[in-house]
A and B are shown apart, each in its own frame.
Chain A
Amino acid sequence: MSANLSAIFYLISGVLFILALRGLSSPETSRQGNFFGILGMTIAITVTFLSVGSFSSGLIYVLIFLLIGGLIGAFIAYKIPMTAMPELVAGFHSLVGLSAVLVAVSAFLNPEAFNLGSQGSIKLASLIEMSIGAAVGAITFSGSIIAFLKLQGIMSGSPITFRGQHLLNALLLISILALTYLLCSTQSSNFFWVLLAVSFLIGFLLIIPIGGADMPVVISMLNSYSGWAAAGIGFTLENSALIITGALVGSSGAILSYIMCKGMNRSFFNVILGGFGASEQSSSSGDKEHRPVKNGNAEDAAFLMKNASSVIIVPGYGMAVAQAQHALREMVDTLKKNDIKVTYAIHPVAGRMPGHMNVLLAEANVPYDEVFELEEINNDFANADVAFVIGANDVTNPAAKNDPQSPIYGMPVLDVEKCKSVLFVKRSLSPGYAGIDNDLFYKENTLMLFADAKKMTEDITKNL
């Protein structure tokens, strides 16, 4: 296949990838979008095989490895529970990062195969592109591994900080530039290996200071990085499909990071520099007094909801942890049988990744037209009888609106307190990740339901 023809096919698959993302603008077109994505990928892979043309004995190995990877991927895709999506996505990001590194190294070792010149005299532009692709890939890889470990609970979700951390990161970043320069001027492979090692280290150091609840930003950011890594390799390989995809994914991740930061009213740098929730905690815990809370049980909750005409459900990370989405849906079904209007209110940063709660509710067969975003539903709280907060905390905290001293002041929150009564399903009175108390707990019209989210929801259903 001629180079021009294959370039046209790569362009087509790039366009199909754009359509794949475009399809996600509504749930009706989304499945078609995913199909476009698969089609684009199939075209890209087929064209690559055809353009290599002369098949060496390597072909059989290529196919075997493709098959092994594909089977593992398919197996994971079918087995993974929906609550584990954040971990899965983080894990997949690390694979993109690592394959970018492997491709870059392979191109560095055998530049002839990629038309990049010969070993020891690789074209300058290619060398720079390769370094960028490899460095960003390595950062994505180690960063995602840390994110994965934190999400999976293998590593503590609390931020790890030490003195001089930012200085060290800055120095390492500068050294990347210096190493790239040295690599280009000397063509010595030693600099390339050091460059890779430093990049792996940066990815690791960048993510350890970021706390568990900031994971939505981290995952989006790593999503973005994996895109830039792919684009870097795309420039090296002079492949437009990769360049287009890299740019799409890069900007997609960047936008998601922005949305997540806005949902927390924090600047991107504030999140990246990390340590949130560690320092504030100590300052606020000093003057904590024990205020009385109204402690309720499933019967009280069922009574309140039975006499309501509209209920708004506010899910949070706690629902995911307790796997309570199916039990919740059963409770809602019972409520609906009693002609009670039920809607769901989702905060942009609820859960551990963008859209996390929506997927869980969709899994539990909640129709998506009953699920609303913050701006759409926030005015309805004033007219609703009961707000059922399940596993959420900080996103309902009125301190964000009326306490300028609060670390979350300015963050958009759900106006849960405007409801006639509020039901809080929580395991204990412990504060949320921001380490701040929630005034809602002590309000006259709040009933605390201390229990596992799933068990409590089931008990309420029995009492309805």
Chain B
Amino acid sequence: MEIDPFIFRLSIFILSIFIGYYVVWSVTPSLHTPLMSVTNAISSVIIVGAIIAGLAGNSDNEFTTSNILGFLAISLAAVNIFGGFLVTQRMLQMYKKKKKDK
């Protein structure tokens, strides 16, 4: 009997939850704010779906509602991707160790 591909995706999903569980517990509490901003940025990988929606179908210049919703989703996700990674970068740059001489 063949296994439905859904089961494979479900396996990836469940295993990723476990990976997430162990990885996030190892995050140091002082970096919890950057953790939130970076998870914010990576969850915007949903832009993948938005790009597919935006590029779907038609070769002529007419856009379907589906295309337009895709465009909107692209810009929303892009705000998040750029904003999320850059603000994380900005925060992480501030975490410095004590300088010995001073």
Contacts and interface: CB of A to CB of B under 8 A. Distances in A.
Interface of A: 10, 13-14, 17-18, 20-22, 24-27, 30-31, 33-34, 37-38, 40-41, 44-45, 48-49, 52, 55-59, 61-62, 65-74, 76-78, 80, 82, 85, 88-89, 92-93, 95-96, 98-100, 102-103, 105-107, 109-110, 112-114, 125, 219-220, 223, 226-227, 229-231, 233-253, 255-256, 259, 346, 348, 353-356, 358-359, 362-363, 365, 367-371, 373
A362 B30 CA distance: 10
B20 A250 contact: yes
Contacts of A219: 36
- Give the most central of A24, A61, A72, A248: most B CB within 10 Å: A24
Given A66-B75, A238-B9, A355 B82 contact: no
B53 A106 contact: yes
Interface of B: 5-6, 9, 12-14, 16-17, 19-21, 23-61, 63-67, 69-99
Nearest to B74: A65
A65 B82 CA distance: 13
A49 B87 contact: no
B51 A62 contact: yes
Contacts of B37: 85, 88-89, 92
Contacts of B81: 41, 69-70, 73
Q: Is the interface of B mostly helix, strand, loop or mixed?
A: helix
A95 B79 contact: yes
A24 B41 contact: no
A48 B41 contact: no
A154 B56 CA distance: 40
A96 B50 CA distance: 11
A335 B16 CA distance: 48
B20 A247 contact: yes
- Give the most central of A73, A348, A368: most B CB within 10 Å: A73
Nearest to B64: A110
A76 B36 contact: no
Nearest to B6: A125
B90 A78 contact: yes
B82 to A, nearest CB: 3
B54 A61 contact: yes
Nearest to B31: A24
B29 A18 contact: no
Nearest 7 pairs of A and B residues by beta carbon: A69-B78, A355-B32, A113-B56, A73-B83, A73-B82, A247-B16, A251-B20
Contact of A73 (B16, B53, B55, B86): B86
Given A24-B31, A27-B97, A362-B96, 15 more contacts: A25-B28, A44-B45, A45-B48, A57-B60, A66-B74, A69-B74, A73-B80, A76-B83, A230-B43, A230-B45, A247-B13, A247-B16, A252-B20, A354-B35, A355-B35
